[in-house]
Amino acid sequence: EVQVLESGGGLVQPGGSLTLSCGASGFTFRQYAMSWVRQAPGRGLEWVSGIGHTGADTYYSDSVKGRFTISRDNSKNTLVLQMKSLRADDTAVYYCAKGVTDLDSWGQGTLVTVSS
Amino acid sequence: QAVVTQEPSLSVSPGGTITLTCGLSSGSVSSNSYPSWYQQTPGQAPRTLIYSTNTRSSGVPDRFSASVVGNKAALTIAGAQADDESDYYCLLNIRSGAPVFGGGTRLTVL
């Protein structure tokens, strides 16, 4: 069974940093691009960042470019999102998903709250 | 940056058929936009319905179908059921490697 499980969310002050992780199982992780998608409270889905299957290619939405860094460790089947200079409008549930243009196998999400 | 547009809300009667659309504020949607569709009920993670324009994800009933019609992507739900009442999002690959979600359509079955 394909599974992805996000972790690392929590409360962080504005301007702070946080690192999210996503562990994957049930599929050959190294063969698939991966993405992070977020959803602010009461709002719609927002694609945030994606990474190619080797990790060589990375992509970001304009809203996080320069502040967030996506990476992966194919030996550990793990996807990572490093977030810095966090703002109140980064508050959201962050989902990990398989793919970039065709998202599949979503996790249950991890909540990031940016507040003083 | 182009905005992906969806109807904010729609309603359908049980057993009825409804079509949700996904367009661009400037330009046309084509299969090269790789439109995909997602269903989300409150408090739950999204569920993939359709990818690559018209391919149903595993386990999705054939009541759900999708296509590109005119200059928009379209998701059609036939024989609507109560548990189809959800938010539906489309995703378009507008700029290579950086897809964009539409604002979502809240579908009511009544």
A45 to B46: CB separation less than 8 angstroms, yes or no = yes
The three-class DSSP label of residue A89 is helix
Q: What is the pLDDT of residues B3-20, one digit of tens each?
A: 999 999 999 999 999 999
Residues belonging to chain B with any Cβ–Cβ distance to chain A shorter than 8 Å: 1, 34, 36, 38, 40, 45-48, 51-52, 57, 87, 89, 91, 93, 97-104
Cβ atoms < 10 Å from Cβ of B47: 16
Whole-angstrom Cα distance, residue B39 to residue A48?
18
Residues in chain A within 8 Å Cβ distance of B99: 47, 50, 100-101
What pLDDT is recorded for position A2?
92
Per mean pLDDT, which range of A22-31, A79-88, B46-55, B88-97 is the poorest?
B88-97
Residue ranges in chain A modelled with pLDDT below 50: none
